Amino acid sequence: MPIIAPSLLSANFLNLQADCDMLNASAAEWYHLDVMDGRFVPNISFGPMLIDFFRKATSKVCDVHLMIEEPEKYAEAFQKAGADILTVHYEACTHLHRNIQQIKGLGMKAGVAVNPHTPVALLKDILADIDLVCLMSVNPGFGGQAFIPNTLSKIKELRQMIDERGLKVDIEIDGGVTLENAKSIVEAGATVLVAGNTVFKSKNPTETIAQLKNIS
19 labelled catalytic: no
Q: How many CB atoms lie within 10 A of CB 183?
A: 13
Are 88 and 58 spatial neighbours (Cβ–Cβ below 8 Å)?
A: no
Q: Is 0.85 topped by the overall pTM?
A: yes
129 labelled catalytic: no
Tens of each residue's pLDDT in the chain, 216 residues: 999 999 999 999 999 999 999 999 999 999 999 999 999 998 999 999 999 999 999 999 999 999 999 999 999 999 999 999 999 999 999 999 999 999 999 999 999 999 999 999 999 999 999 999 999 999 877 767 799 999 999 999 999 999 999 999 999 999 999 999 999 999 999 999 999 999 999 999 999 999 999 997
Are 104 and 110 spatial neighbours (Cβ–Cβ below 8 Å)?
A: yes
| Catalytic residue chosen out of the listed positions 19, 21, 34, 37 | 34
User: What element of type H or E holds 199?
Assistant: helix 197-200
Instruction: Report the distance separating Cα 184 and Cα 75, nearest Å.
Output: 34
> What are the chain's domains?
3-213 (3.20.20.70)
